[in-house]
Chains A and B, each alone.
Chain A
């Protein structure tokens, strides 16, 4: 921005510019005056005040001007567009204001359902499974739906949820644990909107929390994995040490050890729900440690790919992951939100929806299941697993039946007893056979 030596130092190579008054406004570019750099700098400090006076013009003002002008230009542009076109458009849209994304003819739709996802929908994983549920609901003739993906938990999610409530959504599904507090906060402001929060524990007049007993599926996949392992070491790539995940690992380990009492399940925490690269690395570290079956509690199929590359087996999660690792894929613990989401929006339509509930849907409700087992699984194993699956589907929860010991050999669930829902909710310990820590 010019040369300030003009003020303080007559032997500056730029002295020719003294004549150019415009030039004497601000110091900065010392680089341009190489010869006397050091010399001048000494004096520069002394002349600091002098320069300031000589400056006259404050560069900040200029920049302020620039930005005001640019902001004004933008505002003008958009307001022109808004004024020019929006009114006509609004007229056309007025009757269908309920949902602007939908053709104006479909006025009969009565329930507007919103979905907030923590990761991109993509083509596999947790959000994908929820989105399949959304699509089922969207197919009903009285529902319109919309979703926002990749919403970080915390402040951003609060804004997204509030935005949805403001736009007149009747029911909003917030599908990640971290949306719990934001959901509750927004729900207070919009008492007429109904909220369904997935995987948390708080509830309110217009908020239900819901989840599925995915541990039942995990148990079944554990049976398959336990039958297929040769090294007796199984790897488990897990997201966060919270009860939801720990429960799944435990159910998996119980299944594994029923088929193979010598096997152990090694756990690696990634501390993220969605980070394909990290998930893959975690799976690789387990494979390097000698594990030959990789199970996972993540949002992407990256661990599956790692298993296939290493010639090991894998167990998927969320949705059927066979297409990502056809040679390695034994089965997946899968979500099937469609039926219960349908029931929920039907209840909203009929006015029979009730708040203040904690819903924990099971295999009996069809919310959780396992994907078809791969061709490498022997027939007798398939039959044994399907027999257990039938029991679960009939409502007999056989996953955590005592005696079940923790890692220290201490009995946590007494012989003959089943784990209660409280025990499952607070599960912060590993069963025997799991290698790893819960924090």
Chain B
């Protein structure tokens, strides 16, 4: 009997979970098949992956550390996406955040941590925000498509970072290699106790909860979501759409900027080009996987980070190519996105009428 596609009256209640788990299972199955194809023990391979991502404390630490910048960038991206503003520029805003933080740390190296760190965070938010504000402004005044302008600004931001570390900020003691001098102790986010996880984690928590509360309990947050549902409607309802676009982009850029600040300060302890490893782009993936919800983003960024860390372990133990991890990520994302179709539609047998 032929099947027809029917729109659901309500979204499928457990759909998100089923689809996500299904995608994960599908991905693991394909990975196992790939492993077997390479002549490795597939189950052992998955076990190694598990060990590398969640199996022990170090793995968890590694995944958490990697999840922090991803989480902040994704939050930023998600806020803008909520309003249907397509900010692809988290990478550039991340770079600007790092630049802002570095600027403060180089300008006031001797300030105590309690003053210097907030200063760095402020400047990171400001610069990241301004970087995102530019496309918002262009969008409103000149109707420039923000997808293009945010993307292009990424390259400019990275080149700006290069310009600084290859030029004015270069450490004289680095033999010409591109890096700023190491930050003073006051500019470094300390780690929590003996672990390698730094206090940026707590910061993430606060920001995440804060953003969630903002979206849920404030009028501004509500207006954001309402405008996302339909710009024309929003305008009709006398929501200040233009103001909101600028605000949301500033916020979005600022969050990505914070990610840059945390990463430079806590992980690298200096600015150097190797800071840029594509968190801004991965953030878009994370935001979509998480369907733009802050809590889901936390999970999704942690899972993705854990996957990346785990795949390293697989590489080391099984000597498989690095491309393996990218394949796994790709499969998960594609399956989840394809599966979301079933949240709104269902297949039913055609009734003969």
Contacts and interface: CB of A to CB of B under 8 A. Distances in A.
A374 interface: no
Interface string B1-20: 00000000011001011001
Given A78-B47, A154-B274, A156-B277, A66 B177 contact: no
A211 to B, nearest CB: 12
Contacts of B329: none
What 4 A-B pairs have minimum CB-CB distances, sorted nearest first? A153-B274, A150-B322, A154-B274, A66-B17
A384 to B, nearest CB: 33
A398 interface: no
A48 interface: yes
Interface residues of A, number: 70
Contacts of A100: 317
Given A177-B177, A240-B178, A28 B322 contact: no
A178 B268 CA distance: 11
Contacts of A428: 176
B20 A48 contact: no
Interface stretch (A36-44, A253-261, A296-304): A36-44
B103 to A, nearest CB: 19
A199 B83 CA distance: 47
B275 A154 contact: yes
Contacts of A160: 312, 316
A159 B312 contact: yes
B321 A38 contact: no
Contacts of B176: 241-243, 246, 426-428
B267 A155 contact: yes
Interface of B: 10-11, 14, 16-17, 20-21, 24, 43-44, 46-47, 50, 54-55, 58, 62, 65-66, 159, 162, 166-167, 175-178, 212, 219, 222-223, 225-226, 229-230, 233-234, 236-238, 263, 267-270, 272-275, 277, 293, 295-296, 299, 309, 312-313, 315-319, 321-323
A100 B319 CA distance: 11
A41 to B, nearest CB: 4
A48 B24 contact: no
Interface string A407-439: 000000000000000000111100000000001
Most buried by B among A38, A69, A85: A38
9 contacts: A44-B237, A69-B17, A70-B17, A78-B54, A146-B317, A147-B319, A148-B316, A153-B272, A167-B316
Given A41-B226, A48-B219, A60-B293, A70 B233 contact: no
Interface of A: 1-2, 23, 28, 30-31, 37-38, 41-42, 44-45, 48, 60, 63-64, 66-67, 69-71, 73-75, 78, 81-82, 85-86, 89, 100-101, 114, 120-121, 146-156, 158-160, 162-164, 166-167, 177-178, 181, 200-201, 240-243, 246, 271, 425-428, 439
A30 to B, nearest CB: 5
B166 A155 contact: no
B169 to A, nearest CB: 12
Contacts of A74: 24
Given A155-B66, A177-B177, A426-B176, A101 B234 contact: no
Contacts of B175: 201, 243, 425-426
Contact of A82 (B21, B50, B223): B50
Contacts of A120: 321-323
A60 B212 contact: yes
Given A85-B43, A100-B317, A44 B226 contact: yes
B20 A63 contact: no
B164 to A, nearest CB: 11
A66 B263 contact: no
Contacts of A45: 219, 222-223, 226, 237
Nearest to A22: B10
Contact of B16 (A63, A177, A241): A63
B204 to A, nearest CB: 16
Nearest to A79: B50
B233 A38 contact: yes
B317 A101 contact: yes
A151 B325 CA distance: 12
B17 A163 contact: no
A342 to B, nearest CB: 20
A163 B277 contact: no
Given A243-B176, A426-B175, A41 B233 contact: yes
Given A37-B233, A78-B47, A148-B315, A60 B17 contact: no
A57 to B, nearest CB: 12
Nearest to B51: A82
B50 A1 contact: no
Nearest to B291: A63
A63 B237 CA distance: 31
Contacts of A146: 316-317, 319
B295 A64 contact: yes
Contacts of A241: 166, 176
Given A2-B10, A75-B54, A155-B268, 4 more contacts: A30-B226, A60-B295, A85-B47, A240-B178
B322 A159 contact: no
A404 B162 CA distance: 30
A63 B277 contact: no
Contacts of A70: 17, 20-21, 24
B229 A31 contact: yes
Contacts of A149: 315, 321-322
B296 A152 contact: no
Nearest to B7: A32
Given A44-B226, A241-B166, A63 B293 contact: yes
Nearest to A60: B295
